């Protein structure tokens, strides 16, 4: 009996790679149809997952069963025409690879954010809300070290509705019922920039230039927490000033935190 399987793909970088995966899949006996891009493969077949994954690996790539990026609760749908119209509306949203729709739920695979998906459903004449335990992906910018990652993860974990967070230099995967807007607001409050899914990012906090990077040590290659990194006093130029040699800072956010700390010291003029 035929069934539909959706895989998350790894190692593909262009539609030429996607073409190789599709060719490998279509060569299998029992394949009825396949749709492949650089991130996903949707396959209708009579084969089990192990046979499909083996074919993809034989082509030189990796595949794992995909989980929906966004799940919506639907209302107002009552028949196949309703589900078809909703599927068409969702798959027309930029960033959506495919959508599995029933009369009460939509599972969406791709990089589109929940708000744009809800708007598409409403435009089709129905109602949608974000289901619990959804997964969202944010594109991040302005992060450049482990300290930045830790600050961002802590900020996201404090958002109501967040159940699980995984943060890297350029992206964050968040599971839970929190809205995209609340997650983006938390990242920006932490001093960085975030956009939903695969949208283009515009850094709020730029990494330091090469000439500004500290040579002795960075947070990325040191096991010492940033707050414990050494501060060395340089010889004073006059009686009214003191220069400090800092290490462990690797981004504009680090600079801002140090400046804020210095400005809070009584009897100090604003540091230059």
Indicate if 18 and 61 belong to the same structural domain: yes
In a domain, 177, yes or no: no
Categorize the per-residue pLDDT at 248 as very low, low, confident or very high, splitting at 50, 70 and 90: low
pTM over 0.85: no
In a domain, 78, yes or no: yes
- Among 106, 130, 154, the domain-final residue is 130
The two tokens of residue 228 are: 């414990």
Residue 71 CA to residue 219 CA, distance in Å, equals 37
Give me the domain span that covers residue 235. Answer: 210-263
In a domain, 157, yes or no: no
pLDDT averaged over the chain?
82
Indicate if 60 and 75 belong to the same structural domain: no
HEC string of 95-113 equals: CEEEEEECCCEEEEEECCC
In a domain, 58, yes or no: yes
Indicate if 42 and 87 belong to the same structural domain: no
In a domain, 201, yes or no: no
pLDDT exceeds 50 at position 211: no
- Among 46, 65, 84, the domain-final residue is 65
Per cent of the chain over pLDDT 70 is 78
Question: Comparing C-alpha atoms, which of 270, 209, 221, 265 is closest to residue 247?
Answer: 221
Choice between 202 and 233, residue whose per-residue pLDDT is larger: 233
Question: Looking at the 3D structure of the chain, how many domains does it have?
Answer: 3
- Mean pLDDT across 216-244: 52
DSSP 42: E
* The pLDDT value given to residue 233: 54
- Mean pLDDT across 20-33: 95
Choice between 224 and 183, residue whose per-residue pLDDT is larger: 183
Residue 7 CA to residue 66 CA, distance in Å, equals 5
Model confidence pLDDT, tens digit, residues 70-124: 889 999 999 999 999 999 999 999 999 999 999 999 999 998 888 899 999 999 9
Indicate if 77 and 26 belong to the same structural domain: no
* The pLDDT value given to residue 102: 95
Give the CATH number for residue 97.
Answer: 3.30.70.100
In a domain, 200, yes or no: no
CA distance readout (Å), 199 to 112, 238, 269: 9, 51, 42
DSSP 211: G
Indicate if 117 and 86 belong to the same structural domain: yes
Categorize the per-residue pLDDT at 26 as very low, low, confident or very high, splitting at 50, 70 and 90: very high
Indicate if 14 and 27 belong to the same structural domain: yes
In a domain, 166, yes or no: no
């Amino acid at each position: 009996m035929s069934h539909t399987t959706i895989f998350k793909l790894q190692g593909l970088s262009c539609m030429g790679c996607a073409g190789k995966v599709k060719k490998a899949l279509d060569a299998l006996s029992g394949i009825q149809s396949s749709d492949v891009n650089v991130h996903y493969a949707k396959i209708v077949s009579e084969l089990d997952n192990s046979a499909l994954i083996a074919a993809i690996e034989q082509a030189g790539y990796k595949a794992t069963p995909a989980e929906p990026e966004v799940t919506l609760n639907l209302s107002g749908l009552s028949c196949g025409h309703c589900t078809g119209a909703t599927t068409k509306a969702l798959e027309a949203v930029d960033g959506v690879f495919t959508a599995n729709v029933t009369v009460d739920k939509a599972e969406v695979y791709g990089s589109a954010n929940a708000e744009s998906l809800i708007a598409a459903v409403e435009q089709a004449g129905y109602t949608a809300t974000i289901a619990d335990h959804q997964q969202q992906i944010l594109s991040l910018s302005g992060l450049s070290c482990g300290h930045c990652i830790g600050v961002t993860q802590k900020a996201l974990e404090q958002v109501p509705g967040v159940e699980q967070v995984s943060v890297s230099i350029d992206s964050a995967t968040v599971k839970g019922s929190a809205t995209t807007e609340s997650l983006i607001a938390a990242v920006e409050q932490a001093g960085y920039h975030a956009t939903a899914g695969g949208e283009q990012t515009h850094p709020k906090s730029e990494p330091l230039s090469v000439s500004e990077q500290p040579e002795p040590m960075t947070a990325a290659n040191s096991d010492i927490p940033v707050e414990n990194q050494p501060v060395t006093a340089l010889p004073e130029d006059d009686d009214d000033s003191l220069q400090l040699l800092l290490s462990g800072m690797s981004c504009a956010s680090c600079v801002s935190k140090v400046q804020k700390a210095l400005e809070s010291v009584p009897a100090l003029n604003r540091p230059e």
